[in-house]
Amino acid sequence: MKASVATWSFGLKAVQKSKENLCSGKLSLDATEYALARVENDVSTGVYIVGRGGFPNADGFLECDAALMDGNSLKFGAVMALRGIATPSRVARRVLENSPHSILVGEGAQQFALSQGFTVEKEEDLNASSSEFVMTSGHSDTLGVINLDASGNIVAGVSTSGMPGKHPGRVGDSPLPGGGLYADDRIGAASCTGDGDQILPFCPSLKAVLKMGQGMTPNAACESVIKEIAERIFPKEMFEIGIVALSVEGEYGAAGSLKRWRDIITGTEYKGFPYAVWNSDHCIEPTIKVVHSCLSTEQ
């Protein structure tokens, strides 16, 4: 059994890359790093607030966050507010494997990247997006990827260039364990996307995995987490959040608070939260699926 799931419709590129690597015998950690980097290093996907071509902070610099978590060892590696590197997930992988620390931030993260052989690029080669529409559209895109390899090892990874125009050094939930991602080989993994500042206090990825461990399906676990958040903040309006999850049995699921989402490159409008998935036993090719908002009434 091999499987892959990713957030949003543009996550299809990541799932396609994951399938390619998993089917060639690569382990889930490799497949997840390669899938994230595939999207990060594509300037055309920067408008989704990921990697090269992403949007600058308030001082005009591209600052990226990325993280990887190995469900076997529970090892975690992350970089935050990293400047000058188009593929922060590759640096996060090196933190996971080559650093005594789990999280490196800002200048320290860049110094570590240099020590690992990465080259710091010029800002004009990274910050290539200029659409005023996207800068003001309220999109909270983040790429989350989960991969399960044939050995049963599950890995979760995330990457984002963060909120357009953010305060320098700002970090949302994406690269934090339990927030943007969580993985445990005994159960499965989850990844979260949306309004990071609002999501951060709720640790939704950890909660989704724990609920799967209690017997819930991935779909039910994701829905339960979002409904609990909506109940907790009521009567405040629910913020944008989407969760994808994958069990170690290869069962996948997702839930979201979005009533609709428009892909700003393809123009496709989805009635709910789109995500990409592939399962070696159930799907011939990676595909995009959509889940309607799990909130029956406006919160």
Residue 272 annotated as lining a ligand binding site: no
In a domain, 9, yes or no: yes
**What is the CATH classification number for the domain harbouring 142?**
3.60.20.30
In this predicted model, what pLDDT tens digit does every residue of 4-44 receive, in sequence order? 999 999 999 999 999 999 999 999 999 999 999 999 999 99
* pLDDT the model gives residue 264: 87
Q: Is the pLDDT of residue 2 over 50?
A: yes
Residue 201 lies in a domain: yes
Q: Is 170 annotated as a binding residue?
A: yes
142 is known as an active-site residue: yes
Q: Assess whether pLDDT exceeds 50 at residue 299.
A: no
Residue 239 counted as domain residue: yes
Residue 139 pLDDT: 60
- Given 142, 160, 268, 287, which residue is catalytic? 142
Q: Residue 129: what pLDDT?
A: 53
Task: Report whether 287 contacts 19 (CB < 8 A).
Answer: no
What pLDDT shows up at residue 285?
A: 87
In a domain, 33, yes or no: yes
194 in a known ligand binding site:
yes
Averaged over 168-196, what is the pLDDT?
Answer: 97
Residue 200 lies in a domain: yes
pLDDT of residue 145: 98
- Confidence (pTM): 0.96
> What is the predicted pLDDT for the residue at 127?
81
Asked whether residue 296 is assigned to any structural domain, the reply reads no
Given a cut of 70, is residue 138 above it in pLDDT? no
Tokens of 46: 């920067």
Q: Give the per-residue pLDDT at 141.
A: 83
Q: Percent of the chain at pLDDT above 90?
A: 89
pLDDT at residue 7 in the model: 98
Residue 132 scores a pLDDT above 60: no
pLDDT value of residue 282: 77
Residue numbers of the domain that contains 61? 3-291
Q: Known binder of ligand: residue 197?
A: no
Q: Is residue 297 part of a domain?
A: no
Each residue of 263-287: pLDDT tens digit? 988 999 999 999 999 999 876 789 9
Helix axes 106-115, 88-98, angle to 10 degrees: 80
Mean pLDDT of 133-138: 46
Q: Is 196 within any annotated ligand binding site?
A: yes
Asked if pLDDT for residue 191 goes beyond 70, the answer is: yes
Alpha carbon distance 66, 79 (integer Å): 6
The total number of structural domains that make up the chain: 1
The reply to whether 299 falls in a domain is: no
pLDDT value of position 298: 46
